Amino acid sequence: MSYELFRKGLDSPICLTWEMTYGCNLRCVHCLSSSDKARPDELTTAEAKALLDEFAAMKVFYINVGGGEPMSRPDFFELMEYSVRRGIGVKFSTNGTLIDQAAADWICRTDYLDVQISLDGATAEVNDPVRGTGSYVRARRAMELLAERGFCFKINVVVTKENFGQLDAMQAMAQNYGAQLRVTRLRPSGRGKDVWQDLHPTQEQNRALYYWLKARPEVMTGDSFFHLSALGAALDGMNMCGAGRIVCLVDPVGDVYACPFLLDPEFKSGSVRDPGGFGEVWRNSTLFTGLREYEVGGACKSCGSYGVCHGGCMAVKFFTGTPLDYPDPECIHLPEDRPKKRTLQLRKI
């Protein structure tokens, strides 16, 4: 039911991702936005506040703030406080390296602020090859600072072939901190394109992940594994591609893209610096209005699982060179055992 309502798009996004800066002090091998140094043309503090005003006017309930490392922006705290004051909740994603005692205190006393710390392994041996030498210890330090203060943060894990076997350990780590575990899908976007083939989970791991998640409804996914819902009952979440329909991305220079995993000129719909601002791009850009009419066709349409996965993730297809009308490259059905769509049988009574 919700798929039909939402695929035509909403008047405003439910939430959107705002990447505040391309600057980052880490060089994760799978970085979606290929972050490195901040760009000189990133939104100024005044532009960023005007953008938050516009989100507030459109009643965007909350924003996912990322980067780059958002905390590396000198006006990070000022902008987050401004957002919360305007009634926009903040969920920000950080590598944790810049969380010191003072930042941890600020996080704890700020309302409607959620924090997720990225960690891609339960041990430095698994995490550091992906996120960089020393990143494990620094992220754990940030977690300790927040846990000491009784703050419930999230640990975000991008599931890879290498860390799949550590999911139980990651969940135990989260529980020990009084934190929540969030697992997300590896996308071949940004630098992720170069490592996706080597790091993405095997089909066997993906299948096991579905049952692992089903048994642990407390583990959050940001709706990123909806392609696995094709295995049976849908996973929690909307189970659809929300690109340009219910979500979008604003990048550090104000360019608007269909989703955080589609940072490519082909999926750029405009800029918040254009006349009409963000609202005009959201409501009327050719790309977004087109996406609201788009449905994956091809072999997926005749598959019995189409009703739960709708053909999977557009970004993964796009960056692996898969035509958008083809099944998701990580589709858990092999072509020969894709379930047949059941048709309604009419019987005479």
Q: Is 133 a binder of another protein (CB under 8 A)?
A: no
Q: Which of residues 11-30 bind another protein (CB under 8 A)?
A: 11-12, 14
Closest approach of Cβ 2 to another protein, in Å? 7
Identified binder of another protein from the candidate list 3, 10, 212, 216, rule CB under 8 A: 10
What is the DSSP secondary structure assignment for residue 159, as one 8-state letter?
E
* Amino acid in the structure at residue 58: M
Tell me whether residue 106 or residue 112 sits nearer to another protein (CB atom). 112
The residues pairing with 183 across neighbouring beta strands, listed in sequence order, are 157
Footprint on residues 44-73 left by another protein (CB under 8 A): 59, 61-62
Tell me the C-alpha distance between 52 and 315, whole Å.
27
Q: Under the criterion CB under 8 A, does residue 5 sit at the interface with another protein?
A: yes
185-204 exposure pattern, b = at least 16 Cβ within 10 A, e = fewer: bbbbbbbbeebbeebbbeee
Over the window 84 to 103, marking each residue x when it contacts another protein by CB under 8 A and - when it does not, the resulting string is: ---x-x--------------
Sole binder of another protein in the list 3, 77, 112, 294 (CB under 8 A):
112
Q: Distance between CA atoms of 349 and 175, rounded to whole angstroms?
A: 57
Cα 277 from Cα 55, distance rounded (Å) = 10
Q: Are the C-beta atoms of 259 and 315 separated by less than 8 Å?
A: yes
Considering beta carbons, is residue 114 or 330 the nearer one to another protein? Answer: 114
- Give bridge partners of residue 117 from the DSSP assignment: 94, 155
CA distance 241 to 81: 31
Nearer to another protein, 12 or 166 (CB): 12
Rg (CA), the chain: 20
- The verdict on 147 binding another protein (CB under 8 A) reads no
Q: How many whole angstroms separate alpha carbon 28 and alpha carbon 306? A: 34
What residues make contact with another protein under the rule CB under 8 A?
2, 5, 8, 10-12, 14, 59, 61-62, 87, 89, 112, 114
